[in-house]
């Protein structure tokens, strides 16, 4: 959500402009960068920071985040004319939340949860961390005749979106729109940050996932499946192959995307089965 590709999609699809040059500096040293979205509706301005800032300094502490929050509040003082929605990529302590309340930030009703995988670990360690059902499903895929095709060009992305839209209608779930992903990945492909992985049976696609790279990390952005793909455990193979592919390229972390323990129990169970680290971030309003 902090990438230029995401900002392009936000503007071209939803007419939400993004300021990408905002920085936080300490004694002349660059500490963090972040993308800030600002929309005006008459006299009221809506400010949004999604999963930012991106820290450049190492060993970031809660104190650093609170200092950033204070700078943010100084730039946008508390006012009924200014509405801030901020999702920091940070697990705040009760003391930290209390400190934020003192400068007029409050918790939203919902939070954001995702799972991160450390790709710097050896392959055998990653495989051993898989839950038993996940490992069994992967073993079943490995014994099948399904192959994985990896693409780094946009030639077949429109076809991917067709499958994705059909899958959304069949499963009746909410995800990024076709239009949004089309703009985001058009830019991501241009910057060599996009990858498609297809599960193929006898030359025909039966499942697929789209990955967006950013910095040293990658994120799962969208996927689709078919009845044949489910029978073959295609998504187990696709995710594992993505892990190994990007690990070999030197990427360090894999963000599996948001989980919804109540609303999407099956998807949540699938992602948690990889044995990654569960990250919960509070959404703040001010």
CATH value at residue 76? 3.40.630.30
Residues 32 and 170 in one domain: no
250 Ramachandran zone, left/alpha/beta (phi>0; psi -120 to 50): left
Residues 146 and 230 in one domain: yes
Q: Which residues contact 260 (CB under 8 A, 6 or more apart)?
A: 113, 267, 268
Of 42, 77, 104, the one marking the end of a domain is 104
Q: Please say whether the beta carbons of 87 and 284 come within 8 A.
A: yes
Of 78, 104, 130, the one marking the end of a domain is 104
Residues 79 and 172 in one domain: no
Residues 137 and 64 in one domain: no
Using DSSP, state whether 81 is helix, strand or coil.
coil
The alpha-helical segments, DSSP class H, found in 122-249 are 123-128, 132-142, 157-171, 178-190, 227-231, 234-248
Q: Which residues contact 51 (CB under 8 A, 6 or more apart)?
A: 1, 2, 87, 88, 89, 112, 281
The pLDDT tens digits for 198-227 are 999 999 999 999 999 998 999 999 999 999
Q: Please say whether the beta carbons of 32 and 56 come within 8 A.
A: yes
Of 104, 131, 148, the one marking the end of a domain is 104
What was the pLDDT predicted at 21? 57
Summary count for the chain: helices (H), strands (E): 10, 14
Residues 273 and 137 in one domain: yes
Residues 137 and 275 in one domain: yes
The alpha-helical segments, DSSP class H, found in 30-148 are 62-75, 94-102, 123-128, 132-142
Q: For 28, what's the count of Cα atoms within 13 Å in the CB-facing half-sphere?
A: 0
Residues 58 and 129 in one domain: no
Per-residue pLDDT of the chain (286 residues; tens, 9 = 90+): 999 999 999 999 999 999 875 566 667 788 888 999 999 999 999 999 999 999 888 889 999 999 999 999 999 999 999 999 999 988 899 999 999 999 999 999 888 888 999 999 999 999 999 999 999 999 999 999 999 999 999 999 999 999 999 999 998 888 899 999 999 999 999 999 999 999 999 999 999 999 999 989 999 999 999 999 999 999 999 999 999 999 999 999 999 988 776 667 777 888 899 999 888 888 999 9
What was the pLDDT predicted at 120? 96
C-alpha–C-alpha distance, residues 103 and 84, integer Å = 12
Residues 144 and 233 in one domain: yes
Residues 220 and 88 in one domain: no
What was the pLDDT predicted at 12? 94
Asked whether residue 226 is assigned to any structural domain, the reply reads: yes
C-alpha–C-alpha distance, residues 53 and 35, integer Å = 8
Asked whether residue 53 is assigned to any structural domain, the reply reads: yes
Q: Please say whether the beta carbons of 192 and 185 come within 8 A.
A: no
Asked whether residue 36 is assigned to any structural domain, the reply reads: yes
What was the pLDDT predicted at 173? 80
Asked whether residue 77 is assigned to any structural domain, the reply reads: yes
What was the pLDDT predicted at 263? 66
Query: 163: domain range?
Result: 115-280
End-to-end, the C-alpha distance of the chain in Å comes to 20
Q: State the total domains in the chain.
A: 2
C-alpha–C-alpha distance, residues 166 and 163, integer Å = 5
What was the pLDDT predicted at 127? 95
Using DSSP, state whether 192 is helix, strand or coil.
coil
C-alpha–C-alpha distance, residues 168 and 175, integer Å = 8
Asked whether residue 198 is assigned to any structural domain, the reply reads: yes
Residues 125 and 193 in one domain: yes
Residues 275 and 164 in one domain: yes
Residues 78 and 133 in one domain: no
What was the pLDDT predicted at 221? 95
Structure token digits, residue 148? 């994985």
């Amino acid at each position: 959500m902090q990438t230029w590709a995401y900002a392009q999609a936000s503007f071209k699809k939803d007419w939400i402009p993004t300021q990408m040059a905002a920085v936080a500096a300490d004694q002349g040293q660059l500490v963090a960068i972040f993308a800030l979205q600002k929309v005006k509706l008459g006299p009221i301005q809506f400010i949004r920071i999604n999963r930012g800032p991106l820290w450049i300094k190492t060993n970031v502490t809660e104190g650093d985040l609170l200092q950033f929050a204070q700078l943010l509040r100084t730039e946008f003082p508390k006012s009924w004319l200014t509405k801030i929605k901020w999702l920091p990529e940070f697990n705040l302590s009760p003391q930290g939340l209390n400190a934020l309340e003192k400068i007029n930030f409050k918790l939203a009703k919902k939070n954001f949860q995702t799972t991160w995988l450390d790709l710097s670990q050896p392959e055998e360690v990653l495989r051993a961390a898989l839950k038993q059902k996940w490992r069994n499903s992967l073993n079943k895929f490995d014994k099948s005749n399904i192959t994985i095709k990896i693409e780094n060009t946009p030639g077949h992305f429109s076809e991917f979106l067709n499958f994705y839209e059909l899958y959304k209608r069949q499963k009746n779930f909410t995800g990024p729109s076709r239009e949004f992903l089309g703009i985001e990945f058009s830019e991501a492909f241009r910057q060599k940050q996009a990858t498609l992985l297809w599960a193929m049976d006898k030359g025909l696609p039966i499942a697929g996932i789209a990955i967006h790279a950013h910095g040293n990390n990658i994120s799962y952005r969208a996927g689709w499946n078919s009845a044949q793909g489910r029978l073959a455990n295609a998504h187990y193979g696709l995710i594992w192959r993505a892990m190994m592919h990007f690990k070999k390229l030197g990427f360090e972390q894999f963000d599996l995307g948001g989980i919804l323990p109540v609303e999407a129990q099956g998807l949540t169970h699938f992602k948690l089965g990889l044995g990654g680290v569960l990250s919960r971030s509070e959404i703040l309003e001010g």
